[in-house]
Structure 1
Amino acid sequence: MSAKPNKHEGNKTLEDAPGAVWFRAEKTTRTRPHLSHERIIATAVELLDRDGVTKLSMRRLADRLGAHATSLYWHVATKDDVLDLALDAVFAELDIPAAHSASWQDDIETFMTGLRGVLLRHPWAAALANSRPLVGPNALRSSEFAYTALAAGGFHGAYLASAAAAISHYVIGSASSEAVWQQRTDEAATRAAMDAHISAHTDAYPTLAGHFPLLEDDDWDSHFDRGMRLLLAGLASHGDHA
């Protein structure tokens, strides 16, 4: 008989994997620790904004809260729990309209620009959103809005799921890239080096040589807006036929 695997060794089990916090039964006890769930998450977001994901630890979080580790672990079992809850708190900042407009494209544009804004407000959030299931209540609320808008545009079944994925992947991916570049102090120098390297190899990269650096006479907002409109135009050409 083989030994029972330790969930803390090797691959994570579903119980402690990213997203697991949303599927566990809520703890019940007569004596609830004084430390509040809301304070834990607000403090975690503060630390993540300041130091990023790699520097966050349960010990650092407990120290910042001025709390004993046992009080913290009553609320959150793992660091992944903290990350899931903090990321959903970011999605809570997304201003979802109370009602849909007459145009599904306008609704999707509102969703995309709003989501980009909250992700850039917290530079760690976009990259993290690509690493775990987004099934917290606030993330699902935003997805419900986007799915409803796309359904009104004539997307159904697999086409609806693919359209929604294209939208979310564009926003999350572009926000992640922008956040990384914006944190660099040598962005201009790096882009100039990229341009010089490609220009020196025009035989190998003739098309690239005429289009770098991407943001030379542009800015991130315009770059995002142009891509968003190309995506929406493509989706509009398939709506009502999907």
Structure 2
Amino acid sequence: MADKAGGQRGRRPQGQDAQPNEPTLTRERIAATAVNMLDAKGLDGLTMRGLAEAMGSGVMSLYWHVENKEAVFDLALDTVLEYSAPTSLQDWRGDIVHVLDDWRATMLRHPWSALLLPRRVLGPNILVRLERLSTCLSAGGVAEADVNAAIWSLWNYVMGATVTRASFGPSDADRAVSQERLAELGSLYPFLGRSRLLLDDDWDGTFRRGLDFLLDGIAPKR
């Protein structure tokens, strides 16, 4: 991620030297600590003072490595979105499923990332994923003029699926009661009653099947 011109990174503020026994700070250590804090406390739970305390450091020493909390968010987000793509492009659909399955699983492990990603400038690791998707779509026969629309369709699908799964609130008992009410109102909602929609909790299978529907529309199997 690019630094702002004239930013503080790489330059210790005058008169704010590190304390003698202060542990060494690195951007990697800052990122790992920030990810742990975000996993435990969410976006509102991360503060620069709290981050510094978690690393046994002074706040001003932290500012020597990152400009502000927004820069920490960027660093943490890019860290969790790191992606190791398959070495060769053999099956364009399989590669797309791999990219999006991994992306969704990553965001479910770190729910704050799904909320943060749409608000941030895209970092190197998410750009790696988007570049891979573009390459796969091209290999699948999608015209270059249509790749952007295909990319945003896949983006919207994986983000929507992730946020819905991460924030889905009703308990199993609540869903069972709701399904019973649908059955009692069968004449109004006959299909929902038969399909038992509210009891369907195959989140992973539904994600895969929905992705197949989407990919069939973008570039049908040949």
TM-score by length of 1: 0.75
CA shift for structure 1 position 127: 2.5
Alignment partner, residue 11 of structure 1: none
Alignment partner, residue 217 of structure 2: 234
Native 8 Å contact 1:191 1:213 kept in 2: no
Cα distance change, pair 152–204 in 1 and its aligned pair in 2 (3 A) = same
Residue identity (%): 38
CA shift for structure 1 position 209: 4.4
Q: Give, in whole Å, the separation in 1 of the partners of 2:44 and 2:93.
A: 37
Q: Give, in whole Å, the separation in 2 of the partners of 1:217 and 1:35.
A: 47
Native 8 Å contact 2:11 2:64 kept in 1: no
Structure 1, residues 71-108: CA drift from partner, whole Å, max 9, x if none?
Answer: 1122223322211211110111x33112211x211211
Q: Give, in whole Å, the separation in 2 of the partners of 1:220 and 1:117.
A: 11
**1 or 2, which has the higher helix percentage?**
2
Q: Give, in whole Å, the separation in 2 of the partners of 1:123 and 1:61.
A: 19
Asked if 1:106 is matched to 2:85, the reply is no
Q: Which runs of 5+ in 2 are unaligned?
A: 19-23
Runs (4+) off by over 6 Å: 30-33
Q: Which runs of 5+ in 1 are unaligned?
A: 1-20
Alignment partner, residue 39 of structure 1: 29
Alignment partner, residue 127 of structure 1: 115
> Mean Cα displacement is larger for which, 216-225 or 195-204?
195-204
Cα distance change, pair 197–87 in 1 and its aligned pair in 2 (3 A) = farther
Structure 1, residues 145-177: CA drift from partner, whole Å, max 9, x if none?
Answer: 111111122223441011111112211221222
Cα distance change, pair 212–24 in 1 and its aligned pair in 2 (3 A) = farther
Asked if 1:190 is matched to 2:174, the reply is yes
Q: Give, in whole Å, the separation in 2 of the partners of 1:62 and 1:23.
A: 20
> Which secondary structure state, in structure 2, belongs to the residue aligned with residue 75 of structure 1?
coil
